Structure formats: C-alpha cells, structure tokens
Amino acid sequence: MNSKKPDSVYDDIIRLLQSRINARVDDPLREFHTSRKFESFQDEEVAFCAANSKEIIDILKNNNYRKSLSEYSFELLKVYSYSKNQFLHFDGKYRREIIALYQRLIDELVAVLENPGGVDSLKNSYSRLLADHQNRLKALFRDYFRQYVGESESFLHLLNSTVSANYSAQLQLELLRIDPFSLMEPVLDLGCGKEGNLVNYLRSLGFAAFGMDRMVLNESEYIKQGDWMENTLEANRWGTIIAHHSFSTNFIYQHYSSRKIAALYAKKYMEILKSLRPGGEFIYTPGLPFFEEYIKPLKAFKFESFKITAPLKSIENITYTSRVKRIY
C-alpha cells in the first residue's frame, strides 16, 4: 500500500514538471509549434501516476495545490519562452489564459486518474491529454503573435531565438561610457540579466546598486525577478538608471512590430525619467531616434548621445549610447 505523504508526492510532481521542461530546454521555440516533442513523456511519469493515483487526485483537487501547480507550470513555460526570445511578454491577459489552460489539464488528469482502467489505458489517456493541451497552448500562442502579423501571414519568423547575452560589467561600462565613480546613487540596472553582473560589480565597489530582470532565478536583497512593464518605478527614487541592450532594444522591436505595445513603452520611458532624482541620469543603448526627438526639447532634461562603432552599416542610426539627465 502506498503511504507517501501529500507533500512528498507534491515534491515529486514538481520534480517531474522540471524534468519535462529540462528535456526540452535546448529546443528552439519554433520546435514548440512545429514538432510534437513537447507532447512526449517518459514512462516514469505514467508509472508515478499509476502508483500514486489516490494521493495525486487529492492534491490536484486541493485548490491551493491546484493554483500553485498551474502557476508554477506557467513560470516554467515563461522562463523557457523568454530564454528563447527576449521580446516575448506574457502580460496579465495571457498569463491568466495560460494558467487557465494548465488548470484545465489538471482537471482532465484528475478525471483520468479516477477511472484509470489499467496502465496501458492510463498511458493512452495521458498521451491524449498532453497532445490536446499542447494544441491549446499553440492556439493561444498563435493568438498572441497575431498582435504582430496579419491573420493571413505566417508568424513563424517571430519564433526565432533572439536573446541578449549576459555581458561583463566592464564591457557594459565601456559601451555606455560610464565612469562608475561618477554615478549618482542609488543605481538601478533595468534588465540586469539573470546573473546581475553589473549590479554585483558596482556593489563590490561600494555602490548602492540594484537590478531587475524577468530572467532572474535566484533573487537577493538587491537583485529582483520582475518585468519592467509590470513594475511601477517610484518617482524621484533613482540617481542612475542603466539599461544596456534591454529596455531600448525591446522598445525598438515594438516600434516596428506593434503600435499598441510601443505606446506602452513610450509611457514607461517617461515614467523612468520621472523616477530619476534631480541630477540623475537614464543611460541606455541602443538609441531611440524615433522617440528621442520628443525628449530633446524638454527643458527639465538634458539629452546627450555617444556613437558606438556599428558592426553593420544598416544599424548605424541606433548604435549609440544615450544619456538623459534630469535637470529639475
């Protein structure tokens, strides 16, 4: 007789969920939509369900566990997706809808486990559940990408991997033309990368430096997991805000892809400026020539730019570092 405690079974479920995503972590996002790899499963999963069906049913019927598992599954999918394409952004609407799909999968799994009909039958039902769930996720992704292309156009090019690397602190300071000892504190690195390299370097020099990035896995007192579009920046809070190939890179992408989302980035840009203390600076690259023309006339701010040698002539117009200083 199985005597596993609910918490132990729950931990095993978490382990299996992690194992599923880890098995696909090297697969490009395009594979998510064009292959059946993400529907595949190990016999271990079915054996686990068969051996612990009663405990699993009890867990999945518990609202707290159900909520926790569906939200955790969303986080796994989000981290995988964002690691493949930095321009993806699952806002409140899509977050709710994806979580709802995982809750539906949970409910369907409960129904199957309550009437298993043997291991072979369970295996067939499990396979069908995963295939149906994957198809629903694909349909939701298609809806998401329709923001960027028309109904009749293919969106598969949007599934290509596009992710900025974790740059060394010294390289970032060089490209941004920053003398760290001239920085006004506190410093916020917006899109600091999952390791927070620049934040850690500045703190090693004694600076009050903080970072935010949606890919942060291990939060600390000064590096937080978060999306800049979903976090309000407090007015008059920061001495320096740095965004190296993060905020402005995404702004450029949205400028050419989605007017609606680009408008939100324009609003967030102004929020960033208002979050600076008088004398504080917003320092970023690449540049935003299509938007900075509206910033330059503002008397409350001083705009400067510094050219960076462009690897391609076609992108010379944005390969510069911008510094916007709040005067008052």
SS (HEC) of the chain: CCCCCHHHHHHHHHHHHHHHHHCCCCCCHHHHHHCCHHHCCCHHHHHHHHHCHHHHHHHHHCHHHHHHHHHHHHHHHHHHHHHHECCCCCCHHHHHHHHHHHHHHHHHHHHHHHCCCCHHHHHHHHHHHHHHHHHHHHHHHHHHHCCCCCCCCCCHHHHCCECCCCCCHHHHHHHCCCCHHHCCCCEEEECCCCCCHHHHHHHHCCCCEEEEECCCCCCCCCEEECCCCCCCCCCCCEEEEEEECCHHHHHHHHHHHCHHHHHHHHHHHHHHHHCEEEEEEEEEECCCHHHHHHHCCCCCEEEEEEECCCCCHHHCCCCEEEEEEECC
Residue type at 192 in one-letter notation: C
- Sign of the torsion formed by the C-alpha atoms of 257, 262, 264 and 269: positive
Question: Does residue 181 share a domain with residue 118?
Answer: no
Question: Does residue 230 share a domain with residue 211?
Answer: yes
Per-residue pLDDT tens digits for 98-148: 999 999 999 999 999 998 788 889 999 999 999 999 999 999 988 887 766
Question: Does residue 173 share a domain with residue 149?
Answer: no
66/279 Cα distance (integer angstroms): 49
**What is the pLDDT confidence band of residue 198, given thresholds at 50, 70 and 90?**
very high
CATH number of the domain bearing residue 269? 3.40.50.150
Residue 267 has a pLDDT of: 97
Per-residue pLDDT tens digits for 140-174: 988 887 766 555 455 666 666 555 556 778 888 88
Residue 201: inside a domain: yes
Closest CA to 133 of 32, 210, 47, 229: 32
Mean pLDDT of 64-89: 86
Mark which of 159, 178, 212 sits at the end of a domain: 159
pLDDT over 70 at 325, yes or no? yes
Residue 164 has a pLDDT of: 55
Mean pLDDT of 277-304: 95
Per-residue pLDDT tens digits for 61-73: 999 999 999 999 9
Residue 26: inside a domain: yes
Residue 312 has a pLDDT of: 41
Q: Which two tokens stand for residue 123?
A: 């295996």
Residue 196: inside a domain: yes
Question: Does residue 200 share a domain with residue 292?
Answer: yes
Q: List C-alpha distances in Å: 152 to 31, 75, 157, 238.
A: 21, 31, 14, 45
pLDDT over 70 at 4, yes or no? no
Query: How many Å separate Cα 125 from the centre of its chain?
Result: 32
Mark which of 159, 186, 213 sits at the end of a domain: 159
Mark which of 159, 180, 197 sits at the end of a domain: 159
Question: Does residue 126 share a domain with residue 76?
Answer: yes
Average pLDDT of the chain is: 86
Cβ atoms of 186 and 209 closer than 8 Å: yes
Question: Does residue 38 share a domain with residue 69?
Answer: yes
Residue type at 160 in one-letter notation: N
Residue 164: inside a domain: no
Question: Does residue 320 share a domain with residue 181?
Answer: yes
Residue 83 has a pLDDT of: 78
160/153 Cα distance (integer angstroms): 16
Question: Does residue 186 share a domain with residue 280?
Answer: yes
Range with the poorest average pLDDT among 27-36, 209-218, 284-293: 27-36
Residue 1: inside a domain: no
Question: Does residue 104 share a domain with residue 31?
Answer: yes
Residue 150 has a pLDDT of: 56
Residue 163 has a pLDDT of: 54
pLDDT over 90 at 40, yes or no? no
Question: Does residue 234 share a domain with residue 297?
Answer: yes
71/86 Cα distance (integer angstroms): 21
Question: Does residue 151 share a domain with residue 58?
Answer: yes
Range of the domain at 319: 169-326
Non-local CB neighbours of 34 within 8 Å, separated by 6+ positions:
156
Domain count, the chain: 2
Question: Does residue 112 share a domain with residue 199?
Answer: no
User: b/e for 64-86, b at 16 or more Cβ within 10 A?
Assistant: ebbeebbebbbebbbbbbbebbb
Residue type at 148 in one-letter notation: Y
CA angle 264, 209, 266 (to 5 degrees): 10
Closest CA to 248 of 200, 283, 278, 274: 283
Residue type at 210 in one-letter notation: F
